[in-house]
Amino acid sequence: MGNARRRLQMKFAMPSDPRYLPVVRGAIGPLAAAIGWDESECRAITLALDEALANVIRHSYRNCADGMIELECRESADGLEITLLDKGDAPDRSKICAREIGCDQPGGLGTHIITKVMDTVSYETSPEGNRFVARKLLRKTP
């Protein structure tokens, strides 16, 4: 067994239906708290994940509730990694984060929220689908 500490890993397979978002929100906050973030950071991480899932539902699946989203949240040695995998339309990279903050049009700020909260964010398209990966580092204070 050794001294390696076991790390938490949660996996969800959810329909692309917004009514399931509260279930994921209810799980990610306590997970972030267990890893070591304070209440405000847990809320921010929850919001970032919620925005990422909403973007998949809205853009990749065009608001159709019959798609599937695979979600994996893994505790890492230095924080948290969140991966979303979907088989909907590939993201249009020219439109990701395209709207300026301060613009008076509604919507379109989800990616700004995600990139502000998370330390790294990546999007890739592969034969298995669209993959979104976001990482958040836990900064330990001495």
- Say yes or no to pLDDT of 57 above 70: yes
- Say yes or no to pLDDT of 8 above 60: yes
Q: Which residues pair with 85 in a beta bridge?
A: 70, 131
Torsion-angle region of 63 (φ positive above 0: left; ψ -120 to 50: alpha; else: beta): left
Q: Per residue in 11-50, pLDDT tens?
A: 999 999 999 999 999 999 999 999 999 999 999 999 999 9
Rounded CA gap, 87 and 13, in Å?
A: 12
* Long-range Cβ contact pairs of 29-36 (< 8 A, separation 24 or more): 31/73, 31/75, 31/80, 32/80, 32/136, 34/8, 35/8, 35/75, 35/79, 35/80, 35/138, 36/138, 36/140
This prediction has a pTM of 0.86
In the chain, count of helices (H) and strands (E)?
3, 5
Residues whose CB is less than 8 angstroms from the CB of residue 53 and which lie 6 or more positions away in sequence, other chains included:
21, 24, 69, 71, 84
CATH superfamily of this structure's domain 9-137: Histidine kinase-like ATPase, C-terminal domain (3.30.565.10)
Given this model, what pLDDT does residue 10 score? 93
- Name the percent of the chain lying above pLDDT 90: 73
Given this model, what pLDDT does residue 139 score? 86
Rounded CA gap, 63 and 39, in Å?
A: 31
Residue scoring higher pLDDT (141 or 136): 136
Binned at pLDDT 50, 70 and 90, residue 105 comes out as very low
Every domain of the chain and the residues it spans:
9-137
